[in-house]
Amino acid sequence: MELLDIYLNESKLTRDKDFDSGAPAQTLRQQNKLAVKADILGTEDNPDDKSGLLRALVTVGLRFVSSPDQNDDKANEKPVVRAEIEATFCALYRYSEEMTDDEIAEFLRFNAVHNVWPFWREHALRVSAESKLPRPSIPLMKPKG
C-alpha cells in the first residue's frame, strides 16, 4: 500500500446556543466516535492489472455532554449534548496486489485510522479553541498489538 493523500472531506461543529464557555469543565463529559468505511475505486480496464485505489473514509468525532444533577428530579434523563465536533477524512491509497475483504478490513482498522489520527487531533484542538469549547482529550494514537 502506498499512501497518496489525506484530506478533510467533511466537517461540522454544533454548539448549544446557551453553552457557557466559562462553566467549569468538570461539569461536562467527553464522548468519542470513530467509524471507518472504504471504497475500491475503478482501475484501468486491464483484467491482468491487480493494482488499484482504495479510498478510506475515517469519521471521527467528540461531543461534550452534561449529565443531569444526581440530586435533581431529572437524574434519570439522558445527558444533554452541549457541543459536538465531527470530521470525515479521506485517505487515498494505491495497492499493487488484490486484497481480500479481511485484509482490507485489517488494513483500515490499523493503518488508515493511524494515518488520519494526527489530522483529527489538530482539527479538533483548533476547532475547540476557535469556538471556545473545553480542550478535548485526544491522546496520541497507539498501535494495537
Residues in CB range of 21: below 8 A, 6 or more apart: 132, 133
Give residue 25's pLDDT.
63
Q: Are 117 and 59 in contact (CB under 8 A)?
A: no
Q: Has domain 2-130 been given CATH number 3.20.20.140?
A: no
Computed over every residue of the chain, the mean pLDDT equals 82
Q: Which residue has the cell 444533554?
A: 80
Q: Are 33 and 62 in contact (CB under 8 A)?
A: yes
The residue-averaged pLDDT of 46-61 equals 79
C-alpha span between 61 and 67 (Å, rounded): 19
C-alpha cell at 143: 498501535
Run of H or E residues at 123: helix 113-130
Q: Which amino acid is at 121?
A: R
Give residue 50's pLDDT.
62
Give residue 143's pLDDT.
52
CA dihedral sign, ordered 44, 45, 51, 54:
positive
Q: pLDDT category, 70, cuts 50, 70, 90?
A: very low
Q: Where are the domains of the chain?
A: 2-130
The residue-averaged pLDDT of 61-67 equals 88
